[in-house]
Amino acid sequence: MFILKESLTKEQLAEISANAKQTNFFSDLKRSLNPIYIIAFILVFVLAFGLSAYETVFSLFSDHKFGFTPKDIALIITISSIFGVVVQILLFGKMVDKLGEKKLIQLCLIIGAIFAVVSTVISSFLAVLVVTCFIFLAFDLLRPALTTFLSRAAGKEQGFVAGMNSTYTSLGNIVGPAIGGILFDVNIHYPYLFAAVIMVVGLSISVIWKEKRLTQTLAE
């Protein structure tokens, strides 16, 4: 058995202990509605909502619109996922250093919205593969960028912000597939157009989001 040395000093541990508060899920949820936090968590919810609505119907959309076989769909998803992961590993850190998390989030939202709309007008297998690669790439960069931004902004509120980030993401992942399925029954293009609209909404929220205010307040 190995005993790891405590990474924090006694003074840091004492400060954390002094600032610790006994809370529960409902009190944290109520606290998240504070104007200081709510814009950030609405953005988290909106993104999870739109992305899950898109991802849920991808296979159905590919089958109904293009007549792709399960093998074709699996190939597209596999190649797109590998492409997104490789680019994320190689370029995410560099892009964050150059653009910052907020601009990277906005760039990913723009790319995602554009290609979600493009998905409704293309027809060939190669075009679908290329468009899907860029959409998956946008998603793969967007999620860690948002998480990193919230983590950096949280200051001493890491636990609260991380917990609410997970909560609002889960809520979006619950509602998104349900709405996506309902829209798909109406028109197979609607979930993609809906996802694009949601990403535009997320972009608008990120633009009006007072990053400085959130960062300073959470760090106090």
- All structural domains of the chain, each given as residue ranges with its CATH number in brackets, are 35-219 (1.20.1250.20)
Q: Are 135 and 95 in contact (CB under 8 A)?
A: no
**pLDDT mean over 210-219:** 51
Comparing CA positions, the residue from 148, 156, 145 lying closest to residue 217 is 156
CA angle, residues 105, 115, 184, in degrees to nearest 5: 105
**pLDDT mean over 100-104:** 86
Q: Are 165 and 28 in contact (CB under 8 A)?
A: no
Least confident of 47-51, 184-188, 189-193: 47-51
- 153-165 pLDDT, tens digit per residue, is 666 677 777 788 8
Q: What is the pLDDT of residue 204?
A: 87
- 3-27 pLDDT, tens digit per residue, is 445 444 555 445 545 554 555 666 7
C-alpha span between 165 and 170 (Å, rounded): 9
Q: Are 45 and 101 in contact (CB under 8 A)?
A: no
Q: Are 140 and 85 in contact (CB under 8 A)?
A: yes
Q: Are 104 and 94 in contact (CB under 8 A)?
A: no
75 has a pLDDT exceeding 90: yes
